[in-house]
Structure 1
């Protein structure tokens, strides 16, 4: 699993969590709400890891690049 720099991690958080509820996040990641709730209770780091695992490292990198362009 790739190590994300803090700036990248922040971008991912912004992309995924700004204005989104758990239902939307679960649809985006195609995982169950209970899985996300469980990871939220365990701490956000696990959810970040889940995001990277679910969408794949390449997609995370692409997402970061496209998001940075938007800023």
Structure 2
């Protein structure tokens, strides 16, 4: 039981960091960003570096995105 607690704690920290790292990708999906694939590639390749991550986050939150189609 002693070995399980650090394992679970480490798994939670790693999961939280991965979610945080891919936050720009989640924003690009949600906003239906026109540069979605560029954001994904940049996030995978450069997302682990803080300066680039901030740039990718700003990119995913800015810019024009195509309008959503009406569901009528």
Shared fold, TM over 0.5: no
- TM-score w.r.t. the length of structure 1 is 0.30
**Higher alpha-carbon Rg:** 2
Higher relative contact order (CA 8 A, sep 6+): 1
- TM-score w.r.t. the length of structure 2 is 0.30
**Structure having the larger proportion of residues in helix:** 1
